[in-house]
C-alpha cells in the first residue's frame, strides 16, 4: 500500500464523514471534516512542491557536476581564439615564404634568359661567319661562364621551388586546427541547447573519460597541450630513450 | 620500392609525394584514410607505409596496429608523419611497432634522414 493510497483512503473517509455530518446538521463536525479535507489538499500540494524542488535541485547539481559549460567559457573558447589566430599567423608565414622564394627566383630566370639571348645573337653571328678569331675566343669564354652560372642558378631555382612546395605545409595543419574549432562550435551549440532544456528536463551528466592518446591536432602557441614534446629533436630523443 | 602515402589532406600527400620523387622514389600510391589504406595494403605489394595520425575514419595509430596484426603486413616498415606530439602518443606508437616518427611541420632533410635510417636498419638486419 503506497503513501498515496493511504492518503486517498483517508480523504475518502473524511469526505464521507463530511457528508454524514452535514446531513445530520452537525455544523461543527462538518466544519472539522472540511478543515481536514483542506489540510489533506495542502499536504499533497506541499508534497508536489517538495518533489519539484528536489528535482530542480538535482538538475542544478548535476549541471554543476557537468562542468562542460564552465570549461567552454573559461578554456575552450579562449583556446579557439588562439587557434584561429594561429591559423592567421601560419597562412601569413606561408604566403611570405612563398613570395620570398618567388621574388628570389624571378631575377635568376631573367638573368639566364638575358644572357642566353645575348649569346644566341653572337652564336648566330658566328654561324653567319661574321666573327673573327678573337671574338670567337671571347664567345667561347662567355659560353663557358654561362654554362657554369646556369648550373649554379638552376640549383638555386630548384631550391627556391622546393621552398614554395614546403611552404604549402600550412594547409594541412590549419585545416586540422579549423576542424577542431568547428567541433568546439558544435559543442557550444549542444550545450546551449541543454541550457534551454534545463527548465523542463533534468540534464544528464556527461560521461568524460581521459584518453591519453586521443588525437589533439597541431600544437598551437598559447594553447596548452598536456604532455606535448617540442619538435622533431625531442621526438627523436624520446624514442632513443625508449630504445627505439 | 612501392610506397603508400596516407593522409586526409591532399596538400600533405602531394608534398610527401614530391619529396619522395626528389629522393628517387617514383612508385607511390595515395589513400585519404586508414580505412581506405588497409585494403590497399592487403591487396597490393607495398614495401613502405607513410601515414598521418589524425584521420576521421581510421586513425594512423589504429592503421599501424592493424598492419602489425596482419600476417602478411606485420613486417611492413611504417612511418608516422603527424602533428601529434604528446609523450603518450609517441610512446604508444613506438610500442605499437612504428619504425619512424616525424612531427609536422618537417623538412625534406628530416624525411630523407628518417627513411634512410629505417632502411639502413632493415638492411643491417636490426
* B117: DSSP letter: H
Q: What is the pLDDT of residues A5-35, one digit of tens each?
A: 776 788 889 999 999 999 999 999 999 999 9
Query: Where does residue A40 rank: exposed (0-12), middle (13-18), buried (19+ CB within 10 A)?
Result: middle
pTM above 0.80, yes or no: no
- Do A106 and A232 meet the contact criterion of CB atoms below 8 Å apart? no
Question: What does the alpha-carbon distance between residue A142 and residue A115 come to, in Å, rounded to a whole number?
Answer: 9
Supply the pLDDT for residue B36. Answer: 97
Q: Verify whether the Cβ–Cβ distance B104 to A171 is below 8 Å.
A: no
Phi and psi torsions of B57, nearest 5°: -75, -65
> Within chain A, which residues score under 70 in pLDDT?
1, 3-4, 7, 62-67, 198-208
Give the SS3 label for residue A30.
helix
Chain B within 8 Å of A182 (Cβ-Cβ)? no
Residue B22 has pLDDT above 70, yes or no: yes
Q: Verify whether the Cβ–Cβ distance A239 to B94 is below 8 Å.
A: yes
Supply the pLDDT for residue A95. Answer: 86
Chain A within 8 Å of B75 (Cβ-Cβ)? no
* A228: DSSP letter: B
Question: What does the alpha-carbon distance between residue B43 and residue A68 come to, in Å, rounded to a whole number?
Answer: 45
Question: What does the alpha-carbon distance between residue A145 and residue A97 come to, in Å, rounded to a whole number?
Answer: 31
Angle formed at CA A152 by CA A145 and CA B12, multiple of 5 degrees:
160
Give the SS3 label for residue A79.
helix
Distance from CA of A150 to the nearest CA of B (A): 20
Angle formed at CA A170 by CA A167 and CA A175, multiple of 5 degrees:
155
Supply the pLDDT for residue B66. Answer: 97
Question: What does the alpha-carbon distance between residue B102 and residue B89 come to, in Å, rounded to a whole number?
Answer: 12
- Do A11 and A37 meet the contact criterion of CB atoms below 8 Å apart? yes
Q: Which of A169, A175, A176 sits opposite B15 (nearest CB)?
A: A169
ipTM of this predicted structure = 0.78
Question: What does the alpha-carbon distance between residue A96 and residue A170 come to, in Å, rounded to a whole number?
Answer: 12
Query: Where does residue B126 rank: exposed (0-12), middle (13-18), buried (19+ CB within 10 A)?
Result: exposed
* A76: DSSP letter: I
Question: What does the alpha-carbon distance between residue A9 and residue A4 come to, in Å, rounded to a whole number?
Answer: 8
- Which of A98, A101, A182, A215 to mutate to test binding with chain B, by most B CBs within 10 Å of its CB? A215
Q: Verify whether the Cβ–Cβ distance B90 to A239 is below 8 Å.
A: yes
Q: What is the pLDDT of residues B90-102, one digit of tens each?
A: 999 999 999 999 9
Chain B within 8 Å of A232 (Cβ-Cβ)? yes
Could you tell me the three cell numbers for A91? 597562412
What band does B73 get if pLDDT is binned at 50, 70 and 90? Answer: very high
Q: Which of A162, A171, A227 sits opposite B11 (nearest CB)?
A: A171
- Which of B6, B11, B116 to mutate to test binding with chain A, by most A CBs within 10 Å of its CB? B11
Supply the pLDDT for residue B55. Answer: 94
Chain A within 8 Å of B58 (Cβ-Cβ)? no
Question: What does the alpha-carbon distance between residue B3 and residue B47 come to, in Å, rounded to a whole number?
Answer: 6
Q: Verify whether the Cβ–Cβ distance A235 to B106 is below 8 Å.
A: no
As a whole number of Å, the end-to-end CA separation of chain A is 71
Residue B47 has pLDDT above 80, yes or no: yes
What is the DSSP pairing of strand B78-82 with strand B28-31? unpaired
Q: Which of A165, A213, A232 sits opposite B15 (nearest CB)?
A: A165
Amino acid at each position: 500500500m503506497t503513501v498515496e493510497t493511504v492518503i486517498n483512503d483517508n480523504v475518502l473517509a473524511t469526505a464521507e464523514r463530511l457528508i454524514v455530518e452535514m446531513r445530520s446538521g452537525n455544523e461543527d463536525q462538518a466544519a472539522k471534516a472540511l478543515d481536514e479535507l483542506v489540510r489533506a489538499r495542502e499536504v499533497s500540494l506541499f508534497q508536489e512542491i517538495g518533489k519539484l524542488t528536489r528535482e530542480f535541485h538535482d538538475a542544478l547539481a548535476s549541471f554543476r557536476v557537468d562542468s562542460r559549460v564552465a570549461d567552454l567559457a573559461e578554456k575552450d573558447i579562449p583556446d579557439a581564439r588562439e587557434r584561429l589566430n594561429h591559423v592567421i599567423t601560419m597562412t601569413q608565414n606561408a604566403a611570405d615564404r612563398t613570395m620570398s622564394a618567388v621574388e628570389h627566383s624571378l631575377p635568376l630566370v631573367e638573368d639566364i634568359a638575358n644572357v642566353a639571348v645575348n649569346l644566341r645573337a653572337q652564336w648566330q653571328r658566328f654561324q653567319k661567319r661574321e666573327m673573327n678569331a678573337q671574338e670567337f675566343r671571347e664567345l667561347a669564354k662567355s659560353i663557358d661562364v654561362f654554362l657554369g652560372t646556369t648550373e649554379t642558378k638552376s640549383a638555386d631555382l630548384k631550391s627556391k621551388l622546393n621552398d614554395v612546395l614546403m611552404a604549402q605545409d600550412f594547409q594541412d595543419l590549419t585545416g586540422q586546427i579549423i576542424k577542431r574549432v568547428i567541433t568546439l562550435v558544435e559543442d557550444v551549440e549542444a550545450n546551449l541547447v541543454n541550457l534551454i532544456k534545463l527548465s523542463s528536463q533534468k540534464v544528464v551528466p556527461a560521461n568524460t573519460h581521459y584518453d591519453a592518446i586521443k588525437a589533439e591536432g597541431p600544437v598551437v602557441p598559447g594553447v596548452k597541450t598536456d604532455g606535448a614534446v617540442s619538435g622533431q629533436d625531442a621526438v627523436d630523443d624520446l624514442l632513443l630513450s625508449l630504445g627505439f | 620500392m612501392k610506397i603508400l602515402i596516407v593522409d586526409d589532406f591532399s596538400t600533405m600527400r602531394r608534398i610527401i609525394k614530391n619529396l619522395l620523387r626528389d629522393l628517387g622514389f617514383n612508385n607511390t600510391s595515395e589513400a585519404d584514410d586508414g580505412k581506405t589504406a588497409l585494403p590497399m595494403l592487403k591487396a597490393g605489394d607495398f614495401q613502405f607505409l607513410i601515414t598521418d595520425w589524425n584521420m576521421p575514419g581510421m586513425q594512423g595509430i589504429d592503421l599501424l596496429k592493424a598492419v602489425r596484426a596482419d600476417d602478411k603486413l606485420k613486417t611492413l616498415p611504417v612511418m608516422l608523419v603527424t602533428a601529434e606530439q604528446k609523450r603518450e602518443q609517441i610512446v604508444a606508437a613506438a610500442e605499437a611497432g612504428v619504425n619512424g616518427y616525424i612531427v609536422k611541420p618537417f623538412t625534406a632533410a628530416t624525411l630523407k634522414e628518417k627513411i634512410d635510417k629505417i632502411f639502413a636498419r632493415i638492411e643491417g638486419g636490426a
